[in-house]
A = this chain, B = another copy of it.
Amino acid sequence: MSSVDKQLEDLKAEIEDELPPGISVSDVKYEGPELVVYTRDPKEFASNGDLIRKLASKLRKRITVRPDPDVLMDVTAAREKIREVIPEDAGVTDLDFHVDTGEVVIEAEKPGMVIGRHGSTLREITKAIGWTPEVVRTPPIESSTVSNVRNFLKQEREERRDILERVGRQIHREEMADEQWVRITTLGCCREVGRASFILSTAETRVLIDCGDKPGAEGEVPYLQVPEAAPLNSIDAVVLTHAHLDHSALIPLLFKYGYDGPIYCTEPTRDLMGLLTLDYLDVAAKEGRTPPYESEMVREAIKHTVPLEYGDVTDIAPDVKLTFHNAGHILGSAVSHFHIGDGLYNVAFSGDIHYEDTRLFNGAVNDFPRVETLVLESTYGGRNDYQTDQEDSERNLLDIISDTHEKGGKVVIPAFAVGRSQEIMLVLEEAMRSGKIPRMPVHLDGMIWEATAIHTTYPEYLRDNLRDRIFHEDENPFLAEEFNHIDAGEDERQEVTDGEPAIILSTSGMVTGGPIMSWLRHLGPDPDSTLVFVGYQAQGTLGRRIQNGWDEIPMNDRGNGRGGRGNTLSLKMDVETVDGFSGHADRQGLENFVKTMNPRPEKVLCVHGDERSVQDLSSALYHDYNMRTFAPKNLETFRFK
Residues on A lying within 8 angstroms of B by beta carbon are 179, 181, 183, 185, 201, 206, 223, 227-230, 633-639
What's the Cα separation between A92 and B637 when bound, in Å? Answer: 55
Question: Which residues from B are CB-within-8-Å of A635?
Answer: 181, 183, 637, 639
Min CB distance A50 to B, Å, is: 45
What's the Cα separation between A181 and B635 when bound, in Å? Answer: 9
Q: Whose C-beta in chain B lies nearest to the C-beta of A235?
A: B227
Min CB distance A205 to B, Å, is: 12
Question: Which residues from B are CB-within-8-Å of A183?
Answer: 635-636
Question: Which residue of the partner chain, among B181, B228, B639, contacts A228 with CB atoms under 8 Å?
Answer: B228
- A227-B230, A228-B227 given; A638·B636 CB < 8 A: yes
Q: Is B636's CB under 8 angstroms from A639's CB?
A: yes
Q: Whose C-beta in chain B lies nearest to the C-beta of A229?
A: B227
Question: Which residues from B are CB-within-8-Å of A637?
Answer: 185, 228, 635-637
What's the Cα separation between A634 and B230 when bound, in Å? Answer: 20
Question: Beyond A633-B639, A636-B637: 6 further Cβ-contacts under 8 Å?
Answer: A201-B227, A206-B227, A230-B230, A634-B639, A636-B636, A637-B637
Min CB distance A517 to B, Å, is: 32
Q: Whose C-beta in chain B lies nearest to the C-beta of A199?
A: B227
What's the Cα separation between A566 and B206 when bound, in Å? Answer: 49
Min CB distance A163 to B, Å, is: 24
What's the Cα separation between A113 and B166 when bound, in Å? Answer: 72
Instruction: Pick the 7 closest A-B CB pairs, nearest first.
Output: A637-B637, A633-B639, A635-B639, A227-B227, A636-B639, A227-B228, A636-B637
Question: Which residues from B are CB-within-8-Å of A227?
Answer: 201, 206, 227-230
Min CB distance A596 to B, Å, is: 30
What's the Cα separation between A228 and B223 when bound, in Å? Answer: 13
Question: Which residues from B are CB-within-8-Å of A229?
Answer: 227
23 contacts between A and B (CB under 8 A): A179-B223, A181-B635, A183-B635, A183-B636, A185-B637, A201-B227, A206-B227, A227-B227, A227-B228, A227-B229, A227-B230, A228-B228, A228-B637, A230-B230, A633-B639, A634-B639, A635-B637, A635-B639, A636-B636, A636-B637, A636-B638, A636-B639, A637-B637
Q: Whose C-beta in chain B lies nearest to the C-beta of A634?
A: B639
Question: Which residues from B are CB-within-8-Å of A636?
Answer: 183, 636-639
Question: Which residues from B are CB-within-8-Å of A179?
Answer: 223
Q: Whose C-beta in chain B lies nearest to the C-beta of A181?
A: B635
Question: Which residues from B are CB-within-8-Å of A639?
Answer: 633-636
Question: Which residues from B are CB-within-8-Å of A206?
Answer: 227
Question: Which residues from B are CB-within-8-Å of A633?
Answer: 639
What's the Cα separation between A8 and B365 when bound, in Å? Answer: 63
Min CB distance A344 to B, Å, is: 15
Q: Whose C-beta in chain B lies nearest to the C-beta of A177?
A: B225
Q: Whose C-beta in chain B lies nearest to the C-beta of A640?
A: B633
Min CB distance A30 to B, Å, is: 26
Question: Which residues from B are CB-within-8-Å of A638?
Answer: 636
Min CB distance A212 to B, Å, is: 18
What's the Cα separation between A79 and B546 when bound, in Å? Answer: 86
What's the Cα separation between A181 and B639 when bound, in Å? Answer: 20
What's the Cα separation between A635 and B183 when bound, in Å? Answer: 8
What's the Cα separation between A230 and B183 when bound, in Å? Answer: 17
Min CB distance A44 to B, Å, is: 49
Min CB distance A70 to B, Å, is: 47
Min CB distance A81 to B, Å, is: 54
Min CB distance A66 to B, Å, is: 38
Question: Which residues from B are CB-within-8-Å of A181?
Answer: 635
Q: Whose C-beta in chain B lies nearest to the C-beta of A230?
A: B227
Min CB distance A476 to B, Å, is: 49
What's the Cα separation between A633 and B636 when bound, in Å? Answer: 13
What's the Cα separation between A229 and B227 when bound, in Å? Answer: 7
What's the Cα separation between A530 and B497 when bound, in Å? Answer: 105
Min CB distance A628 to B, Å, is: 13
Question: Which residues from B are CB-within-8-Å of A223?
Answer: 179
What's the Cα separation between A223 and B203 when bound, in Å? Answer: 10
Min CB distance A316 to B, Å, is: 19
What's the Cα separation between A635 and B636 when bound, in Å? Answer: 11
Min CB distance A373 to B, Å, is: 14
Question: Which residues from B are CB-within-8-Å of A230?
Answer: 227, 230
Question: Which residues from B are CB-within-8-Å of A185?
Answer: 637
Q: Whose C-beta in chain B lies nearest to the C-beta of A234?
A: B227
Interface centre among A181, A228, A634, A635 (most CB of B within 10 A): A635
Interface centre among A183, A201, A228, A637 (most CB of B within 10 A): A637
Q: Whose C-beta in chain B lies nearest to the C-beta of A182?
A: B635
What's the Cα separation between A633 and B183 when bound, in Å? Answer: 11
Question: Which residues from B are CB-within-8-Å of A201?
Answer: 227
Interface centre among A183, A185, A227, A229 (most CB of B within 10 A): A227
Min CB distance A611 to B, Å, is: 14
What's the Cα separation between A181 and B225 when bound, in Å? Answer: 13
Min CB distance A227 to B, Å, is: 5
What's the Cα separation between A179 and B638 when bound, in Å? Answer: 22
Q: Whose C-beta in chain B lies nearest to the C-beta of A220?
A: B179
What's the Cα separation between A639 and B201 when bound, in Å? Answer: 18
Min CB distance A345 to B, Å, is: 14
Q: Whose C-beta in chain B lies nearest to the C-beta of A637?
A: B637
What's the Cα separation between A636 and B201 when bound, in Å? Answer: 12
What's the Cα separation between A206 and B227 when bound, in Å? Answer: 10
Q: Whose C-beta in chain B lies nearest to the C-beta of A635?
A: B639
Min CB distance A595 to B, Å, is: 28
Q: Whose C-beta in chain B lies nearest to the C-beta of A638?
A: B636
Question: Which residues from B are CB-within-8-Å of A634?
Answer: 639
